[in-house]
Every structure is written in structure tokens, then in C-alpha cells.
Amino acid sequence: MKVKELFDLTGKVALVTGGGRGLGKQIAEVYAEMGCELALCSRKKENCDETAELLVNEYGIKARGYQLDVTSETQVIEVVNQIIEEFGKIDILINNSGATWGASVEEMPLEAWNKVMNVNVTGTFLLSREVGKHMIERNYGKIINIASAAGLTVRPPEVTNTIGYTTSKAAVIHFTKDLAIKWARHNIYVNAIAPGMFRTKMTKGTLDEKEENIKKTIPLGKIGDENMLKGAAIYLASQASDFVTGTVLSVDGGSTL
């Protein structure tokens, strides 16, 4: 098989949570370029609709936006079933929806802690469970969980002060490995990407305040841009990674070394 064929996603269907902006949008863009059909989900459906329209016009693929709160079991079940009905299948699941909260441990509200855990951990579980049932029936699937370099290391408060976020992403990493061994028998590949510091809406406040300090913790001395996650995302979704499961691919400029 030629290399280009290994990375081709023509005929595949991907569900991307948080697909309307940020890292989810970047992943959706590279999948569309490689021929994948896309179901983009977010609490803000208008963002997903806008991105879907953009990708349809640019790449001629099928794409649709869906409103989804990943912490709602009822909504997850309904939307997953709707996507399967409208697209016929789901080959690839990207668990990308995320939340964070900046505060010292002693000032972290329980409500904030619960929100971050519910979105980042429970949401990943619910989507994986429901899409996984469909993938088990088809004996195939690729699940990619967007973890974080923050789930692999710790930093002083001068750099980051988001203990709920870091703890949740560490949980996503362990969830990835555990699910990979549970579902390998069903030909379902479960991997994670651990991005370092990228320029997104979520990180803007932190970068505005602490960018120079953060750069000092990154051996490559730079912040991730809109293209730096695409290679990892296409690799783990395509045939190129058909002997890879339960791994965590760090895309972080060396910050977790």
C-alpha cells in the first residue's frame, strides 16, 4: 500500500466533539481534506454549523453540526443514534470537548471542579460507551481522546494553576489505556493525543498572562499553532496506525520530557 493510501479517510465518518472551534476544528479540517465525512458536536451548535459549511464548500465532503452537551447521558444517546442514522456509521470518534478552570487549590469551588470532571472525564466515557456499542457491532473503530501534556506532568502555580484540569486529563490518559485493552478484541483502537500549549480560545487568558514563563518550560521554545496537531490526528485515525493502541502521543514541544 502506498503511503498516501495509508492516510486516506475517504468513505470514513468521524464524530468530533468540540468540533466547531479550536483543536477540534483543526482536526476536522485535516479529516475533511483526507476525504472524511464529519459530524461536529458542541453545546454551541452555530460554531459547528459554521465549520461544517466551510468544510463542505472547501472539500466537497458531507458534514453536519449537532448540539450536544457531552455530560448529558440522554443527549449523548440521542445524538449518537441520530448521527448513525444520518451518516450510516461512525468509524472515528474524537473526544475533544473540554473545560478548564484557573484557581489555586484552596480557592477552587466544588462547582468548578465538578464541571471540569464532568466534561473532560464523564463526557469522554459517555461518548466512548455509546459510539463503542456501534463499533463493537461493526468490529471496527478508532477512538482518539484529546488528553493534555498537563495530564502527564505537574508545574508550579506560576506556570499553570488548574488542578481540576490536570487531574481530569490524567484520568483521560488512564481511561484510554484501560479501554484500549478492553476493546482490542473488537478491533477498536483507542489512543490519546496529549497536546501541549496551543493557541486556542481556552488558553488565551493563560497565554496573555504567562506566555513567557510557559515558553521557558518548552524545550522548543514556542507555542503550538493551527497546523501542529494535524499530523498526529490523521495518523491515529487512519490505517497508518493499525498496529497502535493504548498509546499517548505527546504533541507538546518537549514540555513533558
Catalytic machinery residues: 165
Query: Contact at 8 Å (CB) between 207 and 214?
Result: yes
* Grid coordinates given for 74: 440522554
Residue 40 grid cell: 461536529
Question: What distance in Å separates the CA atoms of residue 55 and residue 31, rounded to the nearest whole number?
Answer: 10
- Separation in Å, CA 196 to CA 56, 200, 211, 256: 30, 11, 13, 8
Strand partners, 63: 38
What distance in Å separates the CA atoms of residue 10 and residue 92, rounded to the nearest whole number?
12
Contact yes or no for 62/88 (Cβ under 8 A) = no
